[in-house]
Structure 1
Amino acid sequence: SADSVDHYLLHQANIRIINTIREFLGQPESKFPTNVETHGNSSSASCPILLDECNRNGIIKRGDLLALSAFGAGFMSGAVIMEW
């Protein structure tokens, strides 16, 4: 369920998309770390960069359940649920 995910690391295209997904899932802002404010849209690197920053800053912990999701031009998308 959406509640069982500890953190949602989404493609950092823009904050409006991230907030819309968060509101749709009914989850708190604290579960959705962002870096689009400082890095902008870093394209296909946005999820790996965000994952690294969350790890280095202690936001994610061993055993956390993470949802990573990205999308791109041509209706391309990818997602994974993983335990850290």
Structure 2
Amino acid sequence: MADGTDIHLDAARAERLKAAAQVAGLSPEDYALKALDRAMDDDWVEAIAALEEFDRTGHSVAAEDALHGFQDRLKQRLNASRT
């Protein structure tokens, strides 16, 4: 990739990627890009930022507050995966 980042996969990961892509009916490149997009769209970025904030300040959030909206997001993802 001229303007992006290249990554190297070891042989085991490359085979797993090829197998998963074949099952999904995609090229390994397209499958990897979709997987990266899903991972980056997840709430992980937000969760990591919250953990870093906790590590820095010691301030936490109640579980009820942290999970607010979880079921709605889950339903949205399930509906999206069915289309």
Larger RCO: Structure 1 or Structure 2 (Cα < 8 Å, ≥ 6 residues apart)? 1
Report the structure, 1 or 2, having the larger helix content.
Answer: 2
Fold-level similarity (TM above 0.5):
no
Say which structure is richer in strand.
Answer: 1
